[in-house]
Structure 1
Amino acid sequence: MKKIGFLSFGHWSPSPHSGTRSAGDALLQSIDLAAAAEELGADGAYFRVHHFARQLASPFPLLAAVGARTSRIEIGTAVIDMRYENPLYMAEDAGAADLIAGGRLQLGLSRGSPEQVIDGWRYFGYAPGDGESDADLGRRHAEAFLQALKGVGFAQPNPRPMFPNPPGLLRLEPHSPGLRERIWWGSGSNATAIWAAKLGVNLQSSTLKDDETGEPFHVQQAKQIRAYREAWKEAGHAREPRVSVSRSIFALVNDQDRAYFGNGKDADSIGYIDDNTRAIFGRSYAAEPERLIEELRKDEAIAEADTLLLTVPNQLGVAYNAHVIEAILKHVAPGLGWR
């Protein structure tokens, strides 16, 4: 069995060709798609966070709304850029959203990706310390957030408070027990995957990573996952970790599918991020279900992961994206033993 969810970037555009023309459309359609995915039997609704862009940004109002609208599906991010976050305020938001959802949050964090603006986190009031990089800043914020999620008191109480305090140092409220074990790290390299394992968080691996060996993307990603699992084992954590990978996968079952994706990219590509980091971008999959099953069976990284996130073209509308998810669940997943 493999958990299957969707991942939406929440793009919106005022173009007449877009089915998502405003920020309000993106948010409300995200809630509707999560509800539709739950009805179809999908396991997760995940959302990407980008700042200064016509995409989903502040995640917690959306996560709370999805949590209130649904009852079973996992609700997550992939990923929140921790360079922009106040770890303590985020812990309060995350605790509240998780309680509303009944303990279904699966929060993916990361250092973030190339941005729309230069050093955008500086506009949010954050900057690396002496000798730190922006990646160090993101990891420092992540570690502070994880510490806050433990629910351990750390703040000295006022001797004359407005309301009575429990004994001892005070923790942040609301606290959601178990959320600490449902945090993921979005890793673009083998080294950060190993760091995440030592920290005791789950692993999210996306559709791109540093090109570290020159091998096909899925082979490099599978090796990253194995390195993560080995580091987790060496760290001696008590529980088993979870690992997700993201893919663009489209089962061509009707003429509309073929018109949209019948001539899609079917090979990895190479590019550069942050000007000097060579990255490999994984291929998309688009084919008739029988052929798709054969192609996906060869993807080593999908085989290594327990969770698959399907990236969806959200501007094509809720109904079409529900169809994309249903086609994978109905026509592809059983043939691969995922259902």
Structure 2
Amino acid sequence: MKKIGFLSFGHWSDERGSLTRSAGDVLLQSIDLAVAAEELGADGAYFRVHHFARQLGSPFPLLSAVGARTSRIEIGTAVIDMRYENPLYMAEDAGAADLISQGRLQLGISRGSPEQVIEGWRHFGYAPAEGETDADMARHHAEVFLKVIQGQGFAQPNPNPMFPNPPGLLRLEPHSPGLRDRIWWGAASNATAEWAGRMGMHLQSSTLKTDESGKPFHIQQAEQIRLFRAAWAEAGHPGTPRVSVSRSIFALMNDTDRRYFGRGGKEADQVGFIESTRSIFGRGYAAEPDQLIRELAEDEGIAEADTLLLTVPNMLGVPYNAHVIESILKHVAPALGWR
């Protein structure tokens, strides 16, 4: 059994054929798609976060709105770039969004991906300390965030406050109990996956990974997941860690599906360089359901994960994306034992 959700990059454009032509379009349609996905029986609604781009950038208003319109589905990010975040302000926003959703937030955070601008985090007022990298800064922000959302007091109260204080040191409010147990780290390398395990975060692994062995992507991803779980166990964290992987998977059910995705071209891994790091990009899947079932059964990365996030072409609108999700849930997942 696997949890199956969708992952939207939240693009908008006024180009021909786009049904999300503005930021308002993509925000409102993201809420509607989450509602539709819940009605179809999907388990999660996840959103990418990119700054300085025509994509979703500020996640917490959207997560709160989705939480208010739904009742069961998990709501998350994949991922928030911690280089840009004030971890204390983020803790307040996350606590509020989690309370609105009644504890359904699954918050993915990470060092972040390649940016639209040069060192965009500097425009937000952040810079690495002397001798540190931007990745070090992201992990430091993450560590502070993880600490303050536990709900322990740390701030000395004013002896003459405007409103009465509870006794002792003060914590950030609103505090949402249990949120600390639902934080995920988006890892591109084996080392960062192991760090996430030691920190007691769950793991998000996408279709992009540092190429560390030359093996096929799905095999490298499965190895990364096993290293993460071993690090979690060695650190002595209670419970079972969760792992999500994302994939572009399209069941060709009708002529519209074939027109959009039936031309092929992404049936093999690709290798390239991102910020001077050799990286491997996992293949996509687009085929008739029977063929999809055979191909997906051999994907070791999906087999190791408990959660699968389907990347959706959000600019094609809510009805078509609901069809994409429904096709996988009804015609592919049961045959693979995922549902």
Name the TM-score, length of structure 1 as normaliser. 0.99
- Report the equivalent of 1:81: 81
- Report the equivalent of 1:156: 156
Q: How does 1:1-339 map to 2 (within 5 A)?
A: 1-264=1-264, 265-274=266-275, 276-339=276-339
SS in structure 1 at match of 2:55: coil
Matched letter for residue 155 of structure 1 = A
Q: Mark the runs of 5 or more structure 1 residues left unpaired by the alignment.
A: none
Matched letter for residue 247 of structure 1 = R
Cα deviation, 1:265-310, whole Å, max 9, x if unaligned, reads 1000011111x10000000000000010000000001000000000
CA distance, structure 1, for counterparts of residue 227 and residue 39 of structure 2: 36
CA distance, structure 2, for counterparts of residue 253 and residue 271 of structure 1: 32
CA distance, structure 2, for counterparts of residue 232 and residue 83 of structure 1: 24
CA distance, structure 2, for counterparts of residue 194 and residue 15 of structure 1: 42
Instruction: Give the superposition deviation at 1:320.
Output: 0.3
SS in structure 1 at match of 2:278: strand
Kindly report the root-mean-square deviation, in angstroms, between the aligned alpha carbons of the 2 structures: 0.5
Instruction: Give the superposition deviation at 1:17.
Output: 1.8
CA distance, structure 2, for counterparts of residue 289 and residue 271 of structure 1: 30
SS in structure 2 at match of 1:53: coil
CA distance, structure 1, for counterparts of residue 256 and residue 100 of structure 2: 38
CA distance, structure 2, for counterparts of residue 227 and residue 128 of structure 1: 28
Q: Aligned pair count? A: 338
CA distance, structure 2, for counterparts of residue 38 and residue 12 of structure 1: 23
Matched letter for residue 110 of structure 2 = S
SS in structure 1 at match of 2:12: coil
Instruction: Give the superposition deviation at 1:187.
Output: 0.2
Matched letter for residue 270 of structure 1 = V
SS in structure 2 at match of 1:29: helix
What's the % identity of the aligned pairs? 79
Matched letter for residue 130 of structure 1 = E
Cα deviation, 1:213-253, whole Å, max 9, x if unaligned, reads 00000000000000001111111111110000000000001
CA distance, structure 2, for counterparts of residue 27 and residue 272 of structure 1: 32
SS in structure 2 at match of 1:181: helix
SS in structure 1 at match of 2:246: strand
CA distance, structure 1, for counterparts of residue 302 and residue 193 of structure 2: 16
Instruction: Give the superposition deviation at 1:16.
Output: 2.8
CA distance, structure 1, for counterparts of residue 273 and residue 311 of structure 2: 21
CA distance, structure 2, for counterparts of residue 250 and residue 131 of structure 1: 45
Instruction: Give the superposition deviation at 1:27.
Output: 0.3
CA distance, structure 1, for counterparts of residue 279 and residue 302 of structure 2: 19
CA distance, structure 1, for counterparts of residue 16 and residue 307 of structure 2: 35
SS in structure 1 at match of 2:279: strand
Name the TM-score, length of structure 2 as normaliser. 0.99
Matched letter for residue 72 of structure 2 = R
Instruction: Give the superposition deviation at 1:69.
Output: 0.3
SS in structure 1 at match of 2:204: strand
Instruction: Give the superposition deviation at 1:65.
Output: 0.2
Instruction: Give the superposition deviation at 1:15.
Output: 1.3
CA distance, structure 2, for counterparts of residue 17 and residue 197 of structure 1: 42
Cα deviation, 1:50-109, whole Å, max 9, x if unaligned, reads 000000000000000000000000000000000000000000000000000000000000
Instruction: Give the superposition deviation at 1:14.
Output: 1.2
